[in-house]
Amino acid sequence: MIGVPKICTQDNWRFTDHSRIYYFSWFLLFKIVKHESSLLETLAAIILRMIQFLLIMILGWMNGIFINYLSDVLPSHRKITVPTCPSCNRRIPIRSYLFWPRRCPSCGQARSIRVWVVELSAIVITLWLWYNPSPTLDFIFGYLLVTYLGTVFVIDIEHHLILHPVSIVGAVLCLGIGIGLRGFPKTLLGGLGGLGIMMVLYLFGILFSRSMMRWKKRDIEPEGMGFGDVILSGVLGLLLGWPGITFGLTLGIIAAGLFTALYLLIAMATRRYRSFGTIPYGPFLIIGAILPLFFRDELIAILGT
Ligand SMILES: [Zn+2]
């Protein structure tokens, strides 16, 4: 069969006997260059993806830094100001505060473990927001929501406090998101609904503790929610709209109930039960709002409705 023109099936090139080596060399060279260039392209794509990952990580870290900063200064100073040491009240230089050694130069007090937990959580959540884009909510709004809800979450756990200026900023953000998602009427109705439902529960709680006081004839610290929780529910109502907020609040209250039951069980099992004290409601309300907003499909799958 030597001398009969052959067809190279791969690229449809004709090979004759005398030029076979010549063409084949070109073919090989072409293959190598083609292969190498695709390799370069893959490498470039990987590097670009790594840079993107790093940038999103930094964006998340910045969010964590900001949440920590707000949680440090707002409860004690009630305004945006220079961070001070919680133990000696002296100013902490920005470099030491933000990066290293993260201690007060005067008394040596280190920043709390919360700083690390919040920064790590913010990085993970921001990466998750970027790589699992919500079909309804843009990344930037999810990112801003993390700042607002994260700040409320941390301050409520540490101080049992939901600050009104934070709620006002949150209300503006959630009003904007709500209008974008479902228009003004349903958003406003959600806000009023959240405010109204929690207001009733709040007044009921006050009545309950007053009657307990009369019954036991001693002062009882009011348990459960405060007025900040009522405001927060209104803000979350703007975010979830009507009737979404009823579902969000129900989830939040169930989560708080489950947590309280678990807490009581552990306290009884370890015999460390003294007084029940108050649990901050804010974090549970936030969890109740986030679940239907970001995990709607998963919730539907679990609840089957
Ligand atoms: Zn100090």
| Span of 137-141, 186-190, 266-270 with lowest mean pLDDT | 266-270
Residue with tokens 């449809």: 12
Distance (angstroms) between ligand 1 centre and the Cα of 108 equals 6
Rounded-to-integer distance, Cα 294 and Cα 287, Å:
10
Q: State pLDDT tens for residues 224-248.
A: 678 899 999 999 999 999 999 999 9
Closest C-alpha among 9, 283, 272 to residue 154: 283
How many angstroms does the Cα of residue 97 sit away from the middle of ligand 1?
11
Q: Rounded to two decimals, what is the model's pTM? A: 0.82
What's the 152 CA to ligand 1 centre distance in angstroms? 25
- Centre a 10 Å sphere on the Cβ of residue 56 and count the other Cβ atoms it contains: 19
Centre of ligand 1 from the C-alpha of residue 101, in Å: 13
Cβ atoms within 10 A of the Cβ of 122, count?
24
| Dihedral sign computed on CA atoms, order 280, 117, 164, 249 | negative
Domain ranges of the chain: 179-305
Q: Which two tokens stand for residue 275?
A: 């007084």
Q: How far is the CA of 96 from the centre of ligand 1 (A)?
A: 12
CB atoms within 10 A of CB 237: 31
- End-to-end CA separation in angstroms for the chain: 72
Contact 150, 122 (CB under 8 A): yes
| Cα 105 to averaged position of ligand 1 atoms, centre (Å) | 7
Cα(278) to centroid(ligand 1), Å: 29
Q: Which has the higher per-residue pLDDT, 20 or 194? A: 194
Rounded to the nearest whole angstrom, what is the distance from the C-alpha of residue 82 to the centroid of ligand 1?
A: 14
* Distance, CA of 155 to CA of 146 (rounded, Å): 14
Report the 10 Å Cβ neighbour count for 285: 30
What rounded mean pLDDT belongs to the chain?
87
143 CA to centre of own chain: 7
Percent of the chain residues past pLDDT 90, beyond the cut: 53
Which tokens sit at 254?
Answer: 């169930």
Task: Please give the distance, rounded to the nearest whole angstrom, from the Cα atom of residue 150 to the centre of ligand 1.
Answer: 25
Q: How far is the CA of 30 from the centre of ligand 1 (A)?
A: 68
